Amino acid sequence: MDHASRVYESILEMLPSEQNPSPLVRLNRLTPEGSELWAKLEWMNPFGSVKDRAASALIEAMERDGRLAPGRSIVEPTSGNTGLSLAAIAAVKGYGMRAVVPNKVPLEKKALLKLAGAELDVINDNLCPSPGMGDGAIGMARTHAKAQPDRYVMPNQYENRANVEAHIRTTGPEIWRQTQGKITHLFTSLGTCGTVTGCATFLKQQNPRVKIIAVQPSEGHDVPGIRNKNELHVTKLYDESLIDEVIEIDFERAYTGALELARHEGLLAGPSSGLIFEGARVVASREPVGMGVMIFCDNIFKYMSSMLKHLPALKEGTEA
Amino acid sequence: MSGYADTNVLVSTDWVKANLGRPGIRLVEVDVDTKAFDAGHIKGAVGFNWQTQLQDQVRRDIPTKAEFERLLSQAGVSNADTVILYGDNNNWFAAYAFWLFKLYGHKDVRLMNGGRAKWLAEDDKELTVEPTRVTPTTYSASEPDLSLRALVADVLAAVKTRSANLVDVRSPDEFSGKVIAPPGMTETAQRAGHIPGARSVPWASAVQKDGTFKSIDELREIYLKGAAVDPARPTIAYCRIGERSSHTWFVLRYLLGLKDVKNYDGSWTEYGSMVGVPIER
Ligand SMILES: Cc1ncc(COP(=O)(O)O)c(C=O)c1O
């Protein structure tokens, strides 16, 4: 495998690692004076998002402990990205894949999952906020795994430590190396929290003064993949002690932020990146950010229906 | 030890596991998500579809006595069986089914505390996709016990005379009239607000984080003290279509032991659509 020539025997060789990091790109026009912001472009991973890291680690962990073997299938609740990475890797390795997604997930993502060969269950999640354990997508995935244990295995990205370890092993070291240890701030979102917990664990070990800033959408948001802090009870991977600050941003700015990134930086980033960028901008306008790294989880293409909904002006002039 | 007024209406998930397959015990799953049962259910359970089996398919009404008898006969339920109901969404529709069983005079019916989600969360509890083989019975129901059911006339009388506790179990936004129904719901009403004199006690007030019911002391505090439900008076619980209110009806009638509690199954989709009735916001 030769990352310099970029010639590969299998798509899986393109998975990110310290030797094959996702790109780190500087923002040159939208950064407030006196700060430096860099975007880590996770959509450059082979299946298009940060979740390639968790998905490959989850599959490897299940192969190692024997729960996953040819002839068996993966079942997982997902807002789309994890499912897509899992489905693609499963296709390469010859496993089946069943994705359980909340109805709110945009159509592009549902269609992409089917395209990658996943069987799809669409669930009316958040029917009405009920206390405690949701039924929802997680419940349905768990139902399949419990009812057909000889057929399905559920990696459970919300509880599985392999999700965190993927970022301790890859994302964290990549950032440390790419910034030559100069990173001062890390900006991430909160989903399963694998990214934030893994990166923070690694980076704080290198330099405890690196500030970890989590950016969350305001309540009632519809940004797939990420959560507001009060929706975090579903994940066991959230470790508050590693996070210096949680910044809340009006969720509409996830979409306007994405638009600005495209128009002024040429970064075709998705809404969760737009939100992270807006959070970084708030911090940078308050204090100098020496070298801030933002995790841009995926790009905009699979969110066009959401973008059109939130920014109807994009539709104007698109028909003869 | 529970301290609940009626100690024979609730079983734990552990009890269900320990009694799986015992003759005379019938498990019935009732979910909001009608796909959940086929994806996996407790061994030996039959599934009822609330949309097609637990309401009349022509009129807006509960199933008739004959329809209920046919349903239970085909499900292999005998009059002497102990029926254990469970379902998703904290037993919303399981509680609605419980109400129907009581209405039609079934002697021994119980809810599995914590519902489907608690069973799912416990590692030692199994599910299956195997269809349950049933031997049809000849079930015979009693005439409906209307002391458990409020019709709109009962509600209007209660509004007029202020003689009953009215408990609105919907979300605060539905109660205040900010929304007519939770987002995405197909059954709604013409007007938003609540029945005059009703107290707002959202259904979820009755359950803990794991979906099981709160202790008797907490329930007394919430309903009798906090919401000032007077046990000496009749009580009517309502929601939007009568399923969340079945859950609260269960709490008031069986856990707190109030003597006269009715579930208003017409609920807001009926009341909030009537011409000329008083509404508060
Ligand atoms: C678009 C997007 N952004 C952010 C995240 C959050 O990452 P994590 O789950 O590691 O917290 C996800 C994860 O699902 C995602 O799909």
Which pLDDT tens digit goes with each residue over A140-181? 999 999 999 999 999 999 999 999 999 999 999 999 999 999
* Residue A219 to residue A229: CA distance in whole angstroms: 9
* Mean pLDDT of all residues in B100-129: 96
Q: For position B185, what pLDDT does the model report?
A: 80
Question: Chain A contacts of B35, Cβ < 8 Å?
Answer: 121, 140
Q: For position A128, what pLDDT does the model report?
A: 44
* Mean pLDDT of all residues in B248-257: 98
CB contact under 8 A, B204 and A131: yes
Question: Chain A within 8 Å of B124 (Cβ-Cβ)?
Answer: no
CA distances from residue B190 to A284, B14, B58, B170, B280 in whole angstroms, order as listed:
49, 44, 21, 16, 14
* Residue-wise burial string across A261-293, b where 16 or more C-beta atoms lie within 10 A, e elsewhere: bbeebebebbbbbbbbbbbbbbbbeeeebebbb
CB contact under 8 A, A147 and B210: no
A245: number of Cβ within 10 Å? 12
Q: H helices of B7-59, where?
A: 13-18, 36-39
Ligand 1 atom closest to the CA of A82, numbered from 1? 14
Nearest protein CA to atom 7 of ligand 1, as residue: A191
CB contact under 8 A, B39 and A127: no
Share of residues in chain B with pLDDT > 70 (%): 100
User: Does B182 have pLDDT greater than 90?
Assistant: no
Of all residues in chain A, the one with the smallest CA distance to B124 is A146
Q: For position A218, what pLDDT does the model report?
A: 94
Fold exhibited by the domain B147-271: Oxidized Rhodanese; domain 1 (3.40.250)
pTM, two decimals, is: 0.87
Following DSSP, what letter does each residue of chain A receive, concatenated?
A: -BTTTTB-SSGGGGS-BTTBPPPEEE--SSSPTT--EEEEEGGGSTTSBTHHHHHHHHHHHHHHTTS--TT-EEEEE-SSHHHHHHHHHHHHHT-EEEEEEETTS-HHHHHHHHHTT-EEEEE-TTSS--SSS--HHHHHHHHHHHH-TTTEE---TTT-HHHHHHIIIIIHHHHHHHTTT---EEEEE-SSSHHHHHHHHHHHHH-TT-EEEEEEEPTT---TT---GGGGGG-S---GGG-SEEEEE-THHHHHHHHHHHHHH---B-HHHHHHHHHHHHHHTTS--SSEEEEE-BBSGGGHHHHHHH-GGGGTT---
Mean pLDDT in chain B?
A: 95
Using the mean position of ligand 1's atoms as its centre, give its distance from the Cα of residue A50 in Å.
7
Domains within chain A, CATH numbers bracketed: 11-49+164-312 (3.40.50.1100), 51-153 (3.40.50.1100)
pLDDT band at B187 (very low <50, low <70, confident <90, very high): confident
B188-223 per-position pLDDT tens digit: 899 999 999 999 999 999 999 889 999 999 999 999
Ligand 1 atom closest to the CA of A157, numbered from 1? 9
Q: Tell me the one-letter amino acid at B146.
A: L
Of B40, B88, B207, the CB nearest to A144: B40
Share of residues in chain B with pLDDT > 90 (%): 92
Of B120, B128, B209, the CB nearest to A142: B120
* Residue A269 to residue A260: CA distance in whole angstroms: 10
Do the first three CATH levels of B10-144 and B147-271 match, i.e. the same topology? yes
Smallest CA–CA distance, residue A147 to chain B, in Å, is 4
* Residue B18 to residue B27: CA distance in whole angstroms: 13
User: Does B99 have pLDDT greater than 90?
Assistant: yes
| B positions 85-104 inside 8 Å of A (CB) | 88-90
CB contact under 8 A, A146 and B129: no
CATH number for the region B10-144 comes to 3.40.250.10
pLDDT, block means (10 residues), chain A with 320 residues: 92 97 98 96 98 98 95 91 96 96 86 95 64 68 95 95 98 98 97 96 98 95 85 87 97 98 98 98 96 98 94 93
* A279 Cβ contact list (under 8 Å, min separation 6): A187, A213, A215, A247, A249
3-state secondary structure of B249: helix
Q: For position A132, what pLDDT does the model report?
A: 41
How many A×B Cβ pairs under 8 Å?
78
* Residue A214 to residue B224: CA distance in whole angstroms: 43
* Residue A146 to residue A75: CA distance in whole angstroms: 11
CB contact under 8 A, B89 and A144: no
Q: For position A135, what pLDDT does the model report?
A: 65
CA distances from residue B229 to A185, B62, B266 in whole angstroms, order as listed:
54, 27, 21
Of A133, A144, A148, the CB nearest to B117: A133
Q: For position A202, what pLDDT does the model report?
A: 98
Q: Which of B42, B112, B150, B239 is catalytic?
A: B239
Q: For position A126, what pLDDT does the model report?
A: 54
Using the mean position of ligand 1's atoms as its centre, give its distance from the Cα of residue A217 in Å.
13
Smallest CA–CA distance, residue A144 to chain B, in Å, is 6
CB contact under 8 A, B116 and A148: no
Of all residues in chain B, the one with the smallest CA distance to A148 is B128
* Mean pLDDT of all residues in B73-96: 96
A24: Cα within 13 Å, side-chain hemisphere = 22
User: Does B161 have pLDDT greater than 80?
Assistant: yes
Q: For position A125, what pLDDT does the model report?
A: 65
Hey, where are the domains in chain B? 10-144, 147-271
Nearest protein CA to atom 16 of ligand 1, as residue: A225
Using the mean position of ligand 1's atoms as its centre, give its distance from the Cα of residue A191 in Å.
5
The answer to whether residues A124 and A100 touch, using CB atoms and an 8 Å cutoff, is no
* Residue B9 to residue B6: CA distance in whole angstroms: 6
Q: For position A130, what pLDDT does the model report?
A: 45
